[in-house]
Structure 1
Amino acid sequence: AVWLSGSVERKLMRAPLDSNLRIVLARLSKVALMFLALMITLPLVGIDLTALSVFGGALGVGLGFGLQKIMANYVSGFIILLDRSIRIGDLISVGTDRGQVQQITTRYTVLRSPSGVQSIVPNETLISSVVQNEGLSDREVRVAISVQVGYADDVERALVILEECARAHERVLSEPVPRAFLHSFGDSGINLELGLWITDPENGTLGIRSAVQLEILRRFRAEGIEIPFPQREIRVLGDTGNVALCDAKA
């Protein structure tokens, strides 16, 4: 049974089928063959299957109460593979964990984060929690970059520069086009936001953020556009004589 299940699994993995469907068929075939082997072997060694019915019923009830979580994860694993909501290679986020799906086993799913850390997530968690799948229907993901300019600068020119810097990067899609907006008015400057789209979120967003922001910094310096830093104005109120005396001591 073990040899046959291994042979069936190897053939299924080479078949032109969906990856999730191949995994489901391989596991079902292994379970069916092992069960069939057990049913054939027990009578051959002189064990009456009917004598095990009462014991099997009691064992099933005990396992049902004691292994609820394990069975829930087991069934959840098959549900995930059959409904194809999560596939191997998808970039998903569940709770505080975010990463690319590397493996879907009977009990758990392995996620690999962009930093290389692997997270083992129980399949029941993926069924009962909200999962953000960045590659379910399409792979287009929006990346937002915030920039602040001074109140005395040309805001319209700054918006044009932001869009030009985004279009110059090879990972940025030409459609939807990168768009820059005036987000809000801050204490130290005007807040702008650049929105761009990529199709390879599994490669991370830090690299593209860094490249685009370096280009923005270079262009702003060339154009004389200021990126302000927080400034505070302190005004001393009270007796001017005491202030002059403090200045003299200082």
Structure 2
Amino acid sequence: MTTHTDGSGNDIADALNSAAEAAVSGQSTDGQTLTEIIWSLALTLLGHVESFAMSLLRPWVAYQLGMALAVFVLAHLLRRWLGPPIRNWMGTREGWPKWRMRVLVVVHQRLRAMFFVVLMWMLVWIMREATWPSRSYVLGLTATLATAWLLVAFATRLIRSIFLRRMVRYGAWIYVTLYVLGIVDETSEVLDAAAFSIGDMRFSALLVVQGIVVVGCLFALARFITVTTSNRVQANEDISPSMRVLIVKVVQIVFYAIAFYAGVRALGIDLTGLAVLSGAIGVGLGFGLQKVVSNLVSGVIILLDKSIKPGDVISLGDTFGWIQTLGARYASVVTRDGREYLIPNEDLITGQVVNWSHSNDFVRLDIYFGTSYGCDPHQVRKLAIEAAKGVERVLSSRPPVCHIVGFGDSSVDYILRFWITDPTGGLTNIRGNVYLALWDIFKENNISIPFPQREVRLLGQGSDEGEGL
């Protein structure tokens, strides 16, 4: 599309090329500064806008705009009329997959736009059949724009990040609008004229816009691929939990790195010039973020050697709980009282960790008790084993055992051992239940549990007290 400035007779492309040269060199072109050239280009674009506004005063153009407005009102009324029944029908679709319900929700949110697009194309077809094409040009342009905007809105719904979705959507709307109006080249040249240079690299407003759109789309695609891969990997029971976490992390790093590199290369930015700077930054990060890097490497080692995986029950110092998630920097451990501890991965590598469910879920517990010397130790052992067997969660496949471990000052000391397979259910509570069962069965069979007894003697008030003085 070729336009002319007011009375100058010069083509706009020549002016834009001059502006680009001025942006690169930082000098004036034909006696004009870069600011003056950009200002003249802005005036030229304003002239186009003014010409378009004047064209709206033509009768047939005004008629077409009125028809488009009437179609929009009709689409709005249809939305108000059919929207509630469609929503009620959606509420009765129980048992449908979540993805299908999400599609229905998105369609319901765009009902007015969909009605407008359908009605507009019907009106365009009627006008072209009843009149000649020039009298339906604005209607066709409006229908094309509405269709493109609707398709962009549906396509960007695949982007989960709200910020990224809006950025890509608005950028795509602007681009399709400029493309349909046929002024993409002119707008690109104006944006390219607003530029500055750093060494051999030239940065312009056009490059910034292209970078936002390209990198945004690539990151959205990378996020979609990583989320899909993560869902498939997590649903695969043949892969161990630790390997699932490792695969997901590797996929995320690889695809996001590819998206960033491809986006930068697509913009024509040479990364070799940043090699020295990145090396200096790497040295600084190596000294300042030693702990962070150590935790990251430790997390990879944990995932590779499978020493700890999500769902394992561990003890680390005074912390006892099960692994909920394994992150890149820390592991989330949830205790029985609902507290969630974020333990750095380095502590899990360098510290002594008790993994109660590393190779299997069998856990043996020991409790100690004593009875008086007047009780038969054979009967005590038999009753203790019987009491433990009657407690829920105690395994019968690995029966409890009871042994004498010593003769104390006032009691015969025993140890009772039993097995469980659900350490996530707690250890203190199962020990308490076994102690309670021992109390009940000992009480029924007159087995006494000794305890310290003290005698208090009162001395007389006679000469003994005086002698003590």
TM-score by length of 1: 0.89
Which deviations, in whole Å up to 9, do the C-alpha atoms of 1:118-171 show, x marking residues without a partner?
Answer: 111000111111111111112211111222211222222111110111112232
Identity %: 37
- Name the residue aligned to 1:39: 261
Structure (1 or 2) with the greater strand fraction:
1
Report SS of the residue matched to 2:310: coil
Count of residues paired in the alignment: 243
Instruction: Identify which of 363, 370, 373 aligns with 1:151.
Output: 373
Structure 2 counterpart of 1:190, one-letter code: V
Question: What residue in structure 2 maps to residue 230 of structure 1?
Answer: 452
CA 1:158–1:137 in structure 2 vs 1: closer, same or farther (change >3 Å)?
A: same
Q: Secondary structure at the match of 1:85?
A: coil
Note closer, same or farther for the CA distance 1:43–1:116 as it changes in structure 2 (3 Å cut): same
Aligned counterpart, 2:351: 129
- What is the DSSP-based 3-state SS (H/G/I as helix, E as strand, rest coil) of the residue aligned with 1:24? helix
Matched residue SS, 2:332: strand
Alpha-carbon contact 1:188-1:231 (below 8 Å) kept: no
Q: CA deviation at 1:227?
A: 1.1
Greater mean deviation of Cα atoms: 168-177 or 34-43: 168-177
How far did residue 242 of structure 1 move? Answer: 2.7
Residues 211/35 of structure 1: CA separation in 2 closer, same or farther (3 Å cut): same
Give the Cα–Cα distance (whole angstroms) in 1 for the partners of residues 236 and 397 of structure 2. 36
Q: Structure 1 residues 55, 19: closer, same or farther in 2, change over 3 A?
A: same
Q: Secondary structure at the match of 1:57?
A: helix
Instruction: Tell me, yes or no, if the aligned pair for 2:391 and 2:437 is still in contact at 8 Å.
Output: no
- Partners in 2 of 1:15 and 1:224 — Cα distance? 56
Q: What are the ranges of 5 or more consecutive residues in structure 1 without an aligned counterpart?
A: 244-250
State the secondary structure of the residue aligned to 2:410: coil
Q: CA RMSD in A?
A: 2.2
Map of 1:246 onto structure 2: none
Q: Which residue of 2 aligns with 1:56?
A: 278
Whether 1:87 aligns to 2:344 is no
1:106 alignment counterpart: 328
CA distance in 1, matches of 2:307, 2:292: 21
Q: Given residue 254 of structure 2, which amino acid in structure 1 is its aligned partner?
A: A
Which protein shows a greater Rg?
A: 2
Name which of 285, 288, 297 aligns with 1:66.
Answer: 288
Whether 1:6 aligns to 2:227 is: yes
Cα separation, partners in 2 of 1:188 and 1:231, compared to 1, 3 Å: farther
Q: 2:297 aligns with which of 52, 75, 79?
A: 75
Alpha-carbon distance in structure 1 between the residues aligned to 2:453 and 2:264: 83
Under a length normalisation based on structure 2, what TM-score does the superposition of the two structures give?
Answer: 0.49
96-105 vs 35-44, which moves further: 35-44
Larger RCO (CA under 8 A, 6+ residues apart) = 1
1:200 counterpart letter in structure 2: D
Q: Which residues of 2 match residues 179-198 of structure 1 at below 5 A?
A: 179-198=401-420
